[in-house]
Amino acid sequence: MSLMAVKKQIASLDLLDLKKTNLIPDLAKSAEVKLNEIGFPNRKSEDWKYTKTAQLFKKPYKTGKENPNLKLDEFSFPKMKCPTLVIENGSINAHLSCVGDVQGLSINSFVDINKEQVEKIGNISNKKENPFSFLNASHLQSGIYIHLKKKNVLTQPLHLIFINTESQVFSNTRIYVHLEEFSEMNLIQSFVNNNDQDCVTNHVSEIELAENSQLSIEKIQNVLGESHICSEYIRQLNSSVFRINTLSSAGKLIRNGLNVFVEGENCTSYLNGLFIPSDDEHIDNHTHLEHIKPNCFSSECYKGIINDKATGIFNGKVVVHEDAQKIMAYQQNNNILLSNEAVVNAKPELEIYADDVKCSHGSTTGQLDEDALFYLQARGLSKSAALQLLMVGFVDEVLQGIQVEEVKNFYSNKIESLLSSN
């Protein structure tokens, strides 16, 4: 796929919001230059070997409008009454958003941020050359800057709901999250839709965690029929804790690129994920974690249940730099194939340049344990109940890591109903 062809299909996108500011265009311009330089992923790009993105650009896209009748009840977590921001078809929907006044927390559109904040944007994502992230910057539709002042600990999570309500929408959205020293918060990012429609969301998250700050992200991807390129770039400073649960239950083509740069000592990072593609869905999880400083801990656990003709991918890479002594880095990936035509590509990678570290990685792919199935049936579980219990048991390790109780319950139920329909 040539870059020209890609650009042609998204030429008519209206980058409305950001024209109002004279600061962002610099970001767009430099991203454009970079994009021209590296081009679009092709068959030879090792990083995109299992995910062919050319199919995304077979037709032209447009920018969607606000839908006055949009209801979000099924996507919100009413018991929590948490501040919620709605991004519809790539633009902030002010009517449905309700942020309120949370102490220490400021949430602004990129249109309204100061020069110092503007200059931060792109700094973390530029550490890796991902054409989709450059495309995101050059065609940015809306951006949200989330800033939590030091020593503030939020009791309620912040919920961002990304929803496409029209077909053929291509949205480029970005958030920048900055947690100051000793601050803590949970962030829920829900990518959802209510119709099976052919949209593309190209989303970038940049996250800056100052010393002793803690951030947990619950990332929900439930976008039947849509494609989703989602990239996170996280920079961790001393003693910060970062945790993300990537929960992908539906999507035509999903590519998660999670990049963590551990630049401080005594940091903790948990990268967990669950992917359950069915039909001909394709879910790709790429993680890249760099231990740059000593005395840190990281743990990765990704579980996949792949049905029908679907494809699941796990490619996890941990790089331990020469100075990163005494770190512990664990990586685990387990997959279950429910049909003969289901495909898994698993590639755990370790690159270690330090000599006093504890690292492990492993990946398994197989079918459901027939002996366990018979055991449960012999105790009086119907075959379908036994299968469901086994699959829920298989993903339990990931579900238990979800920090926000209501999300955990919601997702446990969701997984149960999803798995029982098999």
Partner 1 sequence: MNKNIINIKGLKCEIEGKEILKGIDLQINKGEIHAIMGPNGSGKSTLSSVLAGKDEYEVTSGSVDYLGKDLLDLSPEERSWEGVFLAFQYPVEIPGVSNVNFLRTALNERNKYKRLDPVSAKNFLAMVKEKSALVGLDNKLKNRSVNEGFSGGEKKRNEIFQMAMLEPTLSILDETDSGLDIDALRIVSNGVNQLKSNENATLVITHYQRLLDYIVPDFVHVLYDGKIVRTGGKELALELEEKGYDWIKEELAV
Residues that bind partner 1 (CB under 8 A): 369, 371-372, 374-383, 385-386, 389-390, 392-397
Number of CB atoms found within 10 A of residue 230's CB? 24
CB of 380 to partner 1, least distance (A): 4
Residue whose CB is less far from partner 1, 194 or 299: 299
CB of 397 to partner 1, least distance (A): 6
CB of 364 to partner 1, least distance (A): 12
Residue whose CB is less far from partner 1, 82 or 399: 399
Residue whose CB is less far from partner 1, 123 or 384: 384
Burial of 111 (0-12, 13-18, 19+ CB in 10 A): middle
Residue whose CB is less far from partner 1, 184 or 397: 397
* 185 in Cβ contact with 146 (< 8 Å): no
d(CA 210, CA 152): 13
CB of 371 to partner 1, least distance (A): 5
CB of 385 to partner 1, least distance (A): 6
Residue whose CB is less far from partner 1, 47 or 397: 397
CB of 406 to partner 1, least distance (A): 21
Mapped onto helix, strand or coil, the DSSP state of residue 173 is: strand
Interacting residues of 241 by C-beta distance below 8 A, sequence separation 6+: 209, 213, 214, 215, 267, 268, 269
Residue whose CB is less far from partner 1, 169 or 386: 386
Mapped onto helix, strand or coil, the DSSP state of residue 140 is: coil
Residue whose CB is less far from partner 1, 295 or 377: 377
For residue 30, the one-letter residue type is S
CB of 185 to partner 1, least distance (A): 29
d(CA 367, CA 303): 13
* 331 in Cβ contact with 316 (< 8 Å): yes
Residue whose CB is less far from partner 1, 65 or 383: 383
**Phi, psi for residue 232 in degrees, rounded to 5:** -115, 140
d(CA 262, CA 273): 19
CA distances from 195 to 27, 138, 164 (A): 33, 28, 9
Residue whose CB is less far from partner 1, 78 or 380: 380
Tokens encoding 177: 């999250």
Tokens encoding 350: 């370790």
Widest CA span of the chain, in angstroms?
69
Nearest to 308 by CA among 254, 362, 250, 258: 250
Buried b / exposed e along 334-367 (16+ C-beta atoms within 10 A): bbbbbeeebbbebebeeebebeebebebebebee
CB of 352 to partner 1, least distance (A): 29
CB of 382 to partner 1, least distance (A): 5
